[in-house]
Structure 1
Amino acid sequence: MENNLILDRVDSNEIHDYLLFLLETSDEINFFCESSYQILSNYLKLNSFIVTSFSENTDQCEIVYQNFNTTSSEEYLSTVFSLVNKSLEDKLKRKIYFNFHNNINNYFEGFCHLTNHNNNSYFYLLSLQFKGKYIGNLLIDFEKFYKTENEAKKVIILLGKYLAIYLYEKLLEFKQQDLEKQKQKLNQSKENQSEYLSKMNHELRTPISAVIGFAKMLQQQLYGELNAKQAQYVDAIYQSGKYLLDLISDLLDISKIEANKEDLYIEKILVNELCESSLALIKTNAEQRGLKLILTIEDSIKYCYIDRRRIQQVLVNLLSNAVKFTETGFITLDVKEENNCIFFRVIDTGIGISQESQKKLFLPFSQLNTHLHRQSKGSGLGLVISRELAKLHGGDITLISEENKGSCFTLYLPQVHK
C-alpha cells in the first residue's frame, strides 16, 4: 500500500515536493532511503542501491542503507563497497570516480557500463555534498533504463541533493546528541569534583588552621622571646599558612559555582551597613598605605536584595585589589541606582591596567605583572569568583581603567525582588 502511494506520487511528477515532504517528516534514515529507492525504481531496473555516510573520525564511509537483489554477486558487491572507502582526495568532486582493481581510473560525467555476472550492467556513483561539505555517496547498480538516460540522471541528481541534506541534518542531530552527552559527563565530573573538594575542605583546613594558630602564638611570644631570625621564620610560616588557607577557600568556591552547587540566600539588606562593614575590613591596610577611603551613596538608596555574605565577599575583593594597586590617593566606594539596578563602583587612583592585561583579567589564575603585585601575592581567583557570584545574582562586573591614572570596577545587581 505504502509503495503504491510512492509510485503514484512519482507518476504525478511531484518528486521534488514528495522529497521535501520526506525531508520534513521522516525520522528514520532507512525510510527516507527506501522511499528514494522506490522513486528511482520507476526509472531504472535496479540491482543495488547503496547510501553511505562519511565519518570524519575514521576518514571513511559507512553504509547506512543498502538494497540489492540476489543477482549481484558477493564479489561484485564487495568491490562496490570498497569503492566508498577509497582515498578521500577526490571526495569534493561531484564527478564519478571508479577504481575497480585499477581497470578503470578516470572521471566520468555519466553512467559507466560494466560487466557483471556475464550480463550487461550499469553503475553510477554520486558524491553527496551540502554546504561545501562532503556527506557521503549514492551508489547505483542497474541493468536497464525504463525511461531515457537523461531523465534517469536528473532524478538521481535530485535524489542525491535531498539525501545529502537529510544526512547532513542527521549528522547535526548526532553531533548535538554527542555534545549533550559530553555536557552531562562534564557536569557529572564537576559535581564529583565539588563533592571531593568539599570533603577535602575539612581535612585540609584543620591542620593548616592549627599551623596558623601555633604560628600566631609564637609571634605573640607567649612561650618566650624569639630572636630576629626566629621571628622572621615564624612570620613566614604564618603568612604562608594564611595564603594557603585562602587558596583552599577560593578553589572550593570556584568548584561549587562550576558544579551549580552555590545556593544564594537573598534577603533585604541595608546598603549603608553593607558598605561600611566592607570598608572596615580593608581600613587597616588602606591606612598603612596612607590612602583615604570615601563612601558615597545616593540618598534614595536604602535597601538592596542580595546574598549578603557573597556580595560582601565581592566588595571586599574589589576594595582589597584597589588598595593593593594604589600607592597614593584615595579609594572610593560609590553606590547609585538606575533602572531598578544598583551599581557599586570601586574607584581608585592607582597604577591602572593596560588594555592587554584587561583582556585576561577575569581569567582563572591571571595576575598583573607589576611591582605592587609582587609585593602582595594572591591566588588569581578572586576576580573570577567575584564575577561568577555577580552573575549568580543576575548581574556582572565591568571595568574601566587607564594606565597611571586608576581604575573603576563596577558591580551591578538587578533588584528583581524590589
Structure 2
Amino acid sequence: MLEASQGRIMIGTLKGISLFFSDESYNSSGSPSVIYHSIVLDGERLDPDEELEFPYEKNSFEVDYSAIGFNQTKDLWVYYRLNPEDDWSIIKDPKSTALYFTNLPYGNYQLELKASYEGENFSKTVTSAPFSILKPIYLQTWFILLWVLFLIALGILISTFFRQFQRVGVLKSAFDQKSKEKQIAEVQFKNVWTSSKDGLMLTIDGRKIVTVNPSFAQIVKMEVSELENTQVIDLFSYPEYFTKYISSFLKRVLKRKNEGFTYESMVPWKSGDLEMEVFSILIQENFEGKNLILSVFRDVSSKKAIEQKLRDAKDKAEQANRYKTSMLSNISHEIRTPLNGILGGTEHIMMMRKDDTELISQLDIILQSGERLLNTITSLLDIAKIEANKMNVVYTQVDINSYLATIVTPLKNLALRKGLVLKTSFLKSPFIGKIDKRFIEMILNNLISNAIKYTDQGEIKLTVDRRKNNMILSIEDTGVGMSEEFLRKAFQPFEQESTGNQRLYEGTGLGLNITKNLVSLLNGEISIQSSKDTGTTVTLEIPLPD
C-alpha cells in the first residue's frame, strides 16, 4: 500500500492495484451484514454447529461475531437476543465483535443476531445452534430425591430419638407415678390396718402369725406384740377346731388365690366363742418360700341376732296376718249370712207390697245399704285373701267373647238404672282362650262399677281385642275423671279422691287395689289415662296361656 499525490492511496491486490480517494464519500445502498462465529467458554472456542449443554456453574460465556456495514452517513446498530420471546437488545455503533453473557439462569437458549443502519435496512437474522444451561445440582431430580430421602431419614431418626426420649420420659413418669402410688398405697394400707374395725391377720400358710392389727388383738383380748410370730392354733380354746379346718382352708385359698373366699363359722376363741365372717386371700406365693395369707375377721354375732329377731318378727307378722285373714273370713261369714237373710227378706216384702210406695221407698234404702255393706265386706275379704296368698289362679278354657258378654249383662241394667248406656265392642271374632273366670269377673265388675259410679251422663264402653297371645280390655267412660296427683296413688288401698264427711261418692277405696293385685296374679298389666272432667280410660293386657 502506497500513498500517492492528492491524498490518494494505492492498495495492491491479487487482481491488480486499487485506488482509495480519501476525500471522496460513498454511500452504500444495501443492508449491513452480521456473521455468528462461535461461543467462547473459558477461552476455548466451541463448535458453532453443535448443540451444547453447559453446567450451571459455567453460565457465563462470550459470543464472537462480526458486523459489517459500508454506510458512512448512518451508524451501524447490532441486535441480539437469546429467546424468541425476549425483546431485542441493541448495541449502537459497536466497538467490539464480542457479546458477553453472565449468570444466565438454567434453561434452553438460541442466540439470534441482526444489524441495521439506525433502525433501517435490517440484515437477515442469524441464529446459533441451540444450547442449554443445565439446572443447578440442588434443583436436579436426583438431588431432590436424595434430599427428600435424607430429610425422611433425618425425620425418622429425629422421631426415633424423640420416641426414645418420650419413652424414657413416660417410663420415668410411670416410675414416679408408681412410686407415688406405692407410697399412697402404703399410707392407705397402714391407715386401714390400724383403723379397721375388722380384725386383720397376716399368716404364713395359715399357721404362723406374722402380724395382726389392733382390732384383731381386741377380738382375742391380747396385745399385738404378744401375737406376732406365734402359732394360730394357740388362739383357739380347743385345737381340734384348727386341725379340722386348716387343710381345707389352705386348699381353698390356693385355688382361689386371686379372688379369695368367705365363710361364716362359730369360732371358739380362748377369749370366748364368736360368730364370725372370715375372708381370706393369698397375698404372696413366695414369702420366705411359703404362702403369705391375709385373713379378715368380722364379728357378725349382732348381725345374726338381728337376723334371728327379724325372722321371728316375720313369723309373728305372718301368723298375725293368718289370724287376721281367719278372723275376717269368720266375721264375713257371720255378717254375710244374716245380711243375705235381710236382703232376701227385703226383696220379698218389696215384691209382696208393690203398691205401698212409701214402704217400697224405705225398703229400697234398706236394700241399697245392705248391698253396700255386703260389697264392703266382700272387698275386705278379697284383699285379705290376696295378702295371705290364698287367691290361687285356676285357668279354664272358654269362649272369651261369650263369657265377657255374660258378665256385662247385669252391669248394663245397673247402668240403665242411672240413665247411662253401657256399650260392648268386640274387635275380634269369637275366640277360645284360657282365663281365670273368677278373676276376670271380679276385675270387670270393679272397673265397670267404678265407671258407672263416677259417670253422671254419657256412656261407658267396653272394648275387647286380642293381640298375639294377649287379651286387651279397655273400659272408657265420660265421668268426672281423676287428677294427675290422685293418679299416682290410685292403686293404693283405701285411697279415694273424694274424702271425709263431705265426700261425693261412697266406697272403701279398695276396688282398684284389688283389681291391680288380680291383674298381677294373672301376669298382666293395667294402666289408667284420665284427667279431670274428661273421663277415664282403663286398659288391661292379660296373657292367655297356651
Answer yes or no: is 1:311 the counterpart of 2:440. yes
Residue 325 of structure 2 corresponds to which residue in structure 1?
194
Identify the residue that residue 238 of structure 1 maps to in structure 2: 367
| Distance of 2:403 and 2:357 partners within structure 1 | 42
Aligned to 1:297: 426
How far is the alpha carbon of 1:215 from its aligned partner?
2.4
Amino acid at match of 1:217: H
CA distance in 2: counterparts of 1:307 and 1:45, whole angstroms: 63
Equivalent of 2:471 in 342, 351, 354: 342
- Counterpart-to-counterpart distance in 2, 1:44 and 1:375: 72
- CA change 1:329–1:252 in 2 (3 A) is same
Name the % identity: 30
Deviation at 1:247, TM superposition (A): 1.2
Aligned equivalents of 1:256 and 1:44: distance in 2?
A: 57
Within 2, Cα distance between the matches of 1:174 and 1:390?
39
Q: CA 1:180–1:397 in structure 2 vs 1: closer, same or farther (change >3 Å)?
A: farther
Give the one of 196, 204, 220 matched to 2:335: 204
Partners of 2:199 and 2:296 within 8 A in 1: no
- Where 2:466 maps in the other structure, the secondary structure is strand
Partner of 2:482: 353
Cα-to-partner distance string for 1:37-59 (whole Å, 9 max, x where unaligned): 9999755999x9324xxxxxxxx
2:544 corresponds to 1:412: no
Decide which of 270, 273, 287 is 2:399's aligned counterpart. Answer: 270
After superposition, the C-alpha distances for 1:36-95 in whole angstroms (9 at most, x for unaligned) are: 79999755999x9324xxxxxxxxxxxxx54479x9xxxxxxxxxxxxxxxxxxxxxxxx
* Deviation of the 1:354 alpha carbon: 0.7
The structure 2 residue matched to 1:283, chosen from 409, 412, 420, is: 412
Cα shift at 1:361: 1.4
Q: Please, what TM-score do these two structures have when normalized by structure 2?
A: 0.45
Q: Matches of 1:297 and 1:44 in 2, distance apart?
A: 77
How far off its partner does 1:409 sit?
A: 0.6
Say if 1:195 and 1:348 are closer, same or farther in 2 by CA, change over 3 A: same
Distance 1:177 1:411, change over 3 A: farther
Deviation (angstroms), 1:305:
1.5
Q: Given that residues 397 and 409 in structure 1 are in contact (C-alpha distance below 8 angstroms), is that contact kept between their aligned partners in structure 2? A: yes
Higher-helix-fraction structure: 1
Deviation string 1:353-398 (CA, Å, 9 cap, x unpaired) is 1111112211111123199x95652222111111111111111321
CA 1:185/1:351 → structure 2, altered by over 3 Å: closer, same or farther? same
| CA distances 1:154-178 after superposition (whole Å, capped 9, x unpaired) | xxxxxxx955xx45x7776665555
**Who is 1:157 aligned against?**
none
Deviation at 1:208, TM superposition (A): 1.4
TM-score in terms of structure 1 length? 0.58
Q: Any conservation in 2 of the 1:295–1:332 contact (CA below 8 Å)?
A: yes
Aligned residue type for 1:189: A
Greater C-alpha radius of gyration: 2
Say if 1:296 and 1:333, in contact at 8 Å, map to a contact too: yes
Q: Which of 485, 505, 525 is matched with 1:396 structurally? A: 525
Q: Give the match for residue 333 of structure 1.
A: 462
Shift of 1:345: 0.7
Q: Is the 8 A contact 2:200 2:213 kept in 1?
A: no
Residues 203-259 of structure 1: CA deviation (Å, up to 9, x unaligned): 12112122222322333344x97573x554433322222211111111111111110
Question: Aligned with 2:455: secondary structure?
Answer: coil
Asked whether the equivalents of residues 333 and 346 of structure 1 are also in contact (C-alpha less than 8 Å), the reply is: yes
Hey, what does 2:217 align to over in structure 1?
49
Shift of 1:297: 2.2
| Map 1:65-214 → 2, pairs under 5 A | 66-67=221-222, 162=296, 166-167=298-299, 178-214=309-345
Contact kept? 1:397, 1:410, Cα under 8 Å: yes
Cα distance 1:44–1:408, how it changes in 2: closer, same or farther (>3 A)?
closer
- Partners of 1:339 and 1:178 in 2: how far apart? 49
Q: Residues 301-327 of structure 1: CA distance to partner in whole angstroms, max 9, x if unpaired?
A: 612211112211111211111112222
* Counterpart Cα distance in 2 of 1:401 and 1:254: 25
Letter in 2 for 1:272: N
- Residue 350 of structure 2 is aligned with which of 197, 216, 219? 219
| Alignment CA distance shift 1:302-1:190 (3 Å) | same
Rounded to whole Å, the distance in 1 between the matches of 2:461 and 2:213 is 85
**What residue is the counterpart of 1:59 in the other structure?**
none
Whole-angstrom distance in 2 between the partners of 1:274 and 1:315: 12
Deviation track 1:106-152 (CA, whole Å, cap 9, x = no partner) reads xxxxxxxxxxxxxxxxxxxxxxxxxxxxxxxxxxxxxxxxxxxxxxx
Give the secondary-structure state (helix, strand or coil) at the position aligned to 2:527: strand
Residues 45, 267 of structure 1: alpha-carbon distance in 2 compared, 3 angstrom cutoff? closer
- Per the TM alignment, residue 344 of structure 1 is displaced from its structure 2 partner at its CA by 0.6
Deviation at 1:346, TM superposition (A): 0.6
Identify unmatched segments of 5+ residues in structure 2.
Answer: 1-188, 227-294
Call closer, same or farther: CA 1:398–1:172 in 2, change over 3 Å: farther
- Residue 133 of structure 1: aligned partner: none
Q: Secondary structure, in 3 states, of the residue corresponding to 1:49? A: helix
What displacement does 1:288 show? 3.1
- Any stretches of 5+ residues in structure 1 without a counterpart? 1-15, 21-28, 52-64, 72-160
Q: Distance in 2 between matches of 1:42 and 1:194?
A: 61
Q: Is the partner of 1:361 in helix, strand or coil?
A: coil
C-alpha contact 1:274 1:312 (8 A) present in aligned 2: no
CA deviation profile, 1:331-357 (whole Å, cap 9, x unmatched): 111122234221111111222111111
